[in-house]
């Protein structure tokens, strides 16, 4: 499958490497190929510049967002949540129509310092914003509630724990479940919350996720929903 990953950060790199290992043809999207490859500084989270990672991942293509998305069978949105809509606008409806987009971005707003707030929030979400702006794109929100490494290696955390999924198109959700299975997520650990309005709940887990990260001093944890049936 031809998979496009929008985003050159830790999440984009991690998902890209895993899908490449699984045998898919991968293109990563960025704003400007040259400046991304010339960047010298670590990102805001202390991750090495993209070119360091790219040295060991040369078979993965790097293109501007629109070119990267053009040929894709499946797209992952791994961009900064405050920039996701602008990135998708730069790709355009014509390219996006009919495609599946796995949205794992969080609309974290750091403009007022730490801890970040969410925008949009409560009665709206980034997942819904994207779906509303691009009605013929099949948006599936998933994987945004955990650390990047865990997304593609669920066994990094011991025992059973869950990944959420939501979206309006059942066929798209089935495809995304297959991708999650290929990452190691067992069927019974994938919780389908329903339509895309459930992205509100998934995104609003971020404030508690960030506090747990601070309390534990590690990102190797996840949510586990315990139930009787
Ligand atoms: N880090 C995690 O473990 C984790 C876990 C769950 C969810 N998430 C979510 O996943 C997403 C990606 O996170 P990340 O840490 O990998 O990377 P990030 O630093 O949040 O985002 C990097 C990407 O966003 C693009 N970007 C940033 N500002 C932009 C702007 N003004 N206009 C257009 N594009 C812009 C960058 O483009 P360039 O390539 O051009 O620089 C880059 O591709 C975020 O929404 C985050 O909340 C992260």
* pLDDT of the chain, 229 residues: tens digit per residue: 999 999 999 999 999 999 999 999 999 999 999 999 999 999 888 999 999 999 999 999 999 999 999 989 999 999 999 999 999 999 999 999 999 999 999 999 999 999 999 999 999 999 999 999 999 999 999 999 999 999 999 999 999 999 999 999 999 999 999 999 999 999 999 999 999 999 999 999 999 999 999 999 999 999 999 999 8
Q: What is the pTM of this model?
A: 0.98
Closest residue by Cα to residue 154 from 174, 182, 175, 177: 182
DSSP state of 136: T
Q: Is the CB of 79 under 6 A from ligand 1?
A: yes
Half-sphere exposure of 33 (CA within 13 A, CB side): 12
Q: Assign residue 64 a region: left if phi > 0, alpha if psi is -120 to 50, beta otherwise?
A: beta
Closest ligand 1 atom to Cα of 87: 33
**What is the CB-side half-sphere exposure of residue 149 using CA atoms within 13 A?**
7
Cβ neighbours, 10 Å, residue 188: 8
For the chain, the first-to-last Cα distance in angstroms comes to 36
Q: Which of 8, 10, 11 to mutate to test the pocket of ligand 1 (most atoms within 8 A of CB)?
A: 11
């Amino acid at each position: 499958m031809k998979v496009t990953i929008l985003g050159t950060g830790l999440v984009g790199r991690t998902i890209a490497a895993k899908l490449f290992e699984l045998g898919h043809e991968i293109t990563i999207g960025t704003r400007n190929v040259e400046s991304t490859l010339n960047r010298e500084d670590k990102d805001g989270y202390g991750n090495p510049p993209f070119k360091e990672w790219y040295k060991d991942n040369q078979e993965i293509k790097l293109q501007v967002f629109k070119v990267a998305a053009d040929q894709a069978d499946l797209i992952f949105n791994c961009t900064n949540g405050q920039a996701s809509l602008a990135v998708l606008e730069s790709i355009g409806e014509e390219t996006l129509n009919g495609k599946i987009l796995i949205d794992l971005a969080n609309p974290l707003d750091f403009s007022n310092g730490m801890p970040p707030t969410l925008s949009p929030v409560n009665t709206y979400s980034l997942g819904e914003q994207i779906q509303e702006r691009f009605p013929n794109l099949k948006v599936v929100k998933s994987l945004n509630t955990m650390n990047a490494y865990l997304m593609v290696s669920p066994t990094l955390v011991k025992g059973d724990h869950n990944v959420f999924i939501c979206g309006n198109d059942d066929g798209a959700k089935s495809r995304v479940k297959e991708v999650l299975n290929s990452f190691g997520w067992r069927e019974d650990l994938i919780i389908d919350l329903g339509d895309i309005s459930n992205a509100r709940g998934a995104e609003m887990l971020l404030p508690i996720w960030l506090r747990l990260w601070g309390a534990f001093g590690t990102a190797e944890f996840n949510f586990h929903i315990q139930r009787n049936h």
